[in-house]
Amino acid sequence: MNDIEKDTPAPKGINKLRAEWHELSPFERFEHIVMLAVSLVLVVVILTAFFRLVVNVYELLISQIEDGTEYKAFQATFGMLLTLLIAFEFRNSINAILEGKGLLIQVKIVILISLIAIARKFLVLDPKEYEAMAVAAYALVAFGLGATYWMLGRSEKDEDLLRR
């Protein structure tokens, strides 16, 4: 192997798919085509959510200047921001699948998406509309997801130690 080949990074994303296309089974090809289509749809969703967030922030600034803003407007803005982050994490999940990253990485991404969704729920929920038991249930789910994410991170570190 010459110096140029050593410095050249391995192909990623669509280039990796092109290089390995002939080795994939028909179902794996179908799966990749669907993932690429979903990825394109997510790009549209992300752009739309970003546009709505920018418009919302502009309206929030104008209303703040004119007559002050109630907390619900801020909650809605943070909810929109977290929705955008969830969409980005979904996109990362699809990238992990397309790049053939390990199952552990994919599971961690799904758990992270769930944690962000629960955090979003906490930010936008009105405590007057929910009973204490419902809020406690959300908190328990958040704790369980956080503990699972932490354990997966520990297991990933243990795997790294074993490989060395």
Please tell me the predicted confidence (pLDDT) of residue 159: 65
Cβ–Cβ contacts within 10 Å for residue 133, how many? 8
CA distance 65 to 59: 10
User: So where are the chain's domains?
Assistant: 10-163
Helix (H, G, I), strand (E, B) or coil at 1: coil
Q: What residues of the chain score a pLDDT lower than 50?
A: none
Please tell me the predicted confidence (pLDDT) of residue 12: 65
Please tell me the predicted confidence (pLDDT) of residue 51: 94
pTM for the whole structure: 0.67
- CA dist list (Å): 40 to 36, 37, 160: 6, 5, 34
Please tell me the predicted confidence (pLDDT) of residue 60: 85
Q: Which residues of 66-85 are buried (b: 16+ CB within 10 A; e: fewer)?
A: eeebeeeeeeebebbbbbbb
* Selection from 79, 80, 108 nearest residue 92 by Cα: 108
3-state secondary structure 41-60: HHHHHHHHHHHHHHHHHHHH
- Helix H or strand E segment including 107: helix 103-124
Rg (CA), the chain: 21
Please tell me the predicted confidence (pLDDT) of residue 161: 59
Please tell me the predicted confidence (pLDDT) of residue 162: 60
Please tell me the predicted confidence (pLDDT) of residue 32: 80
